């Protein structure tokens, strides 16, 4: 399965946290050929199962399918839409960008005319959809509608790509590729592929999914920051360095057995990898770790520059390394 081709399809579908229905249907169609069972739980997580022989450990592999965005809170008399952020919005990165609603209404996100860049906050921004009045705007938009920044992905030099929402559609693409690789292979234990909801607002979806599955082992696929741009915080992760084996982020300390096994497999299989410590930010790894009586949880991250902007930038080689390492991990349990 070609990760870039998959990403082009996934990044074109707007699905903010709490409104993942559209991307879920795209992912359901993509995962069904590689699963014995496919279901959706009460919170909206998409869960696909590949059955094993019943003699081995249960594994949960997870990537979140939601993205950050904006919620319409008020319509001004002149037709401008006031908003609230959904997830971690960097308004400096979002200002003067194109947005699209869950209903396909297009607009632009801009600050109040006299607002200085140093004062960028949610209450200083509005969305202009081109309406001349509140009456005209309310024919297209209702209070509670969601908008997201315009999506899409493009190639840069070599294997580098840019666009949004690579966080975390690239994780979803990796998960689909892993499912494709494992489908024809006999496995001793069940493998669950979970595309979770509402990660961007508190890692909510993965928790009930993990409690339902109660995996022995779990792996999360998400992006991580890098230290390879000017004046970046000190960090060893870089684009093109391979799969990032997470040791810690602000929400989790990964299970030592999982970290050790992933690194050993990468060495044996000659898969490029790097060790990741993320000092700010969390992932669904923390939710999966708490499942039932506890899960041996780890994560394979894809290094990403400019996270939560319109120009998130990754290296396809790192995503491909994550696929290979995840397949090796599941086969060797």
Residues with catalytic annotation? 199
| SS3 assignment, position 125 | strand
* Listed residue (291, 157, 160, 174) closest to 222, CA to CA: 174
Beta bridge partners of 110: 126
Please provide residue 58's backbone torsions phi and psi, each rounded to the nearest 5 degrees.
-85, 135
* Listed residue (128, 127, 124, 126) closest to 114, CA to CA: 124
Q: For the chain, give me the number of helices (H) and strands (E)? A: 9, 18
Q: Which tokens in the block code for residue 330?
A: 């599941």
Contact predicate 285/254, CB 8 Å: yes
Task: Indicate the angle between helix axes 21-31 and 3-10, nearest 10 degrees.
Answer: 150
Spatial CB neighbours of 52, under 8 Å, sequence gap ≥ 6: 186, 187, 188, 189, 190, 191
Residue 55, exposed/middle/buried by CB under 10 A (0-12, 13-18, 19+)?
Answer: exposed
* Listed residue (141, 149, 150, 148) closest to 73, CA to CA: 141
CA-to-CA distance for 77 and 94, rounded, in angstroms? Answer: 24
Residue 272, exposed/middle/buried by CB under 10 A (0-12, 13-18, 19+)?
Answer: middle
Find the largest Cα–Cα distance for the chain.
66
* Listed residue (219, 192, 190, 189) closest to 287, CA to CA: 219
């Amino acid at each position: 399965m070609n990760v870039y081709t998959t990403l082009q399809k996934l990044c074109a579908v707007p699905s903010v946290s709490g409104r993942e229905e559209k991307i879920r249907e795209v992912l359901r169609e993509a995962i069904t050929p590689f699963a014995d069972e496919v279901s959706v739980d009460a919170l909206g997580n998409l869960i696909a199962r590949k059955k094993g022989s019943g003699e081995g450990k249960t594994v949960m592999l997870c990537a979140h399918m939601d993205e950050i965005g904006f919620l319409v809170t008020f319509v001004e008399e002149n037709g401008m839409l006031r908003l609230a952020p959904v997830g971690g919005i960097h308004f400096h990165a979002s200002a003067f960008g194109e947005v699209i609603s869950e209903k396909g209404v297009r607009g632009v996100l801009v600050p109040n005319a006299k607002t200085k860049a140093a004062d960028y906050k949610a209450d200083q921004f509005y969305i202009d959809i081109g309406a001349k009045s509140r009456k005209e705007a309310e024919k297209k938009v209702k209070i509670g509608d969601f908008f997201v920044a315009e999506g899409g992905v493009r190639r840069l030099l070599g294997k580098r790509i840019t666009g949004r929402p690579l966080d975390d559609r690239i994780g979803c693409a990796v998960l689909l590729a892993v499912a494709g690789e494992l489908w024809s292979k006999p496995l001793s234990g069940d493998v669950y592929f979970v595309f979770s909801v509402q990660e961007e607002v508190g890692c909510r979806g993965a928790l009930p999914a993990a409690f339902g599955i109660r995996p022995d082992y779990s792996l999360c696929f998400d992006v991580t920051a890098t230290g390879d741009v000017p004046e970046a915080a000190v960090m060893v992760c870089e684009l093109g360095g391979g799969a990032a084996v997470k040791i810690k982020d602000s929400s989790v300390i990964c299970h030592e057995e999982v970290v050790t096994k992933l690194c050993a497999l990468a060495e044996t299989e000659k898969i490029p990898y790097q060790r990741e410590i993320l000092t700010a930010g969390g992932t669904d790894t923390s939710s999966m770790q708490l499942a039932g009586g506890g899960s041996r949880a780890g994560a394979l991250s894809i290094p990403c520059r400019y996270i939560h902007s319109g120009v998130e930038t990754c290296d396809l080689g790192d995503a491909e390394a994550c696929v290979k390492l995840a397949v090796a991990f599941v086969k060797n349990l």
